[in-house]
Amino acid sequence: MKVILDSEQIEQILQDLTTQITSDTPPLLDIAVIGIRSRGEVIAQRLSSRLSRELGKDVPCGTLDITLYRDDLNSPQGNHQPRVRTTEIGFDIDDKIIILVDDVLHTGRSTRAAMDALIDLGRPKAIKLAVLVDRGGRELPIQADYAGYKSDAAPGELVQVSLMESDGEEQVVIE
């Protein structure tokens, strides 16, 4: 097990992501943050409060459950059974720039599922992808617009993000 990010580095990355997103966002457009359950949800909440502060306006935050859109639901290899949870997005996503947030970008399959799920909720102006860690290994043509940290984890390795709100500690490890 190797620690690749500690709490200070995570803090710095979130600040960098906030700065990048802020400088990219035209001031007149509405922006909202939506996190993919479950670690993406926590990062999205942190980003939304930082962005609200930075932009001086309320940046709403929602949570997306992508279970119903996964591509391995009916494949016998998908051995674990995903648990359906709720999507909680208390605002209209139409015509907003949506910052879609996940903890780790790997195959790109979760992102694909999340985009399909979002489109069923409305028609955003744009969807942009922000992740804490990009570990490579894509299986779909998907890239992050904002990647906090690029890691070169080997295919069999696991990049695990722990956050205070969900795990009681703050670090990213490869094991």
- The residues of the shown chain that bind other proteins, judged by CB under 8 A, are 65, 67-69, 73-76, 78-79, 81, 83-87, 116-117, 119-122, 158, 160, 167, 175
Structure tokens at 111: 């992102």
Q: How far is the CB of 18 from other proteins (least distance, A)?
A: 27
CB nearer other proteins, residue 33 or residue 89? 89
Report the DSSP pairing between strands 159-162 and 171-174: antiparallel
CB nearer other proteins, residue 21 or residue 163? 163
Q: Give the Cα-Cα-Cα angle 125, 149, 108 (nearest 5 degrees).
A: 55
Q: CA neighbours within 13 Å on the CB side: how many for 61?
A: 18
CB nearer other proteins, residue 167 or residue 170? 167
Q: How far is the CB of 63 from other proteins (least distance, A)?
A: 11
Tell me the C-alpha to C-alpha distance, in Å, between residue 61 and each of 14, 18, 42, 92: 15, 14, 10, 11
Q: How far is the CB of 111 from other proteins (least distance, A)?
A: 16
Q: How far is the CB of 155 from other proteins (least distance, A)?
A: 14
Q: What 8-state DSSP symbol labels residue 139?
A: S
CB nearer other proteins, residue 28 or residue 84? 84
CB nearer other proteins, residue 147 or residue 159? 159
Q: Which residues pair with 63 in a beta bridge?
A: 35, 88
Q: Give the Cα-Cα-Cα angle 26, 132, 92 (nearest 5 degrees).
A: 45
Q: How far is the CB of 157 from other proteins (least distance, A)?
A: 9
Q: What is the dihedral of CA 118, 120, 126, 129, to 10 degrees?
A: 20
SS3 13: helix
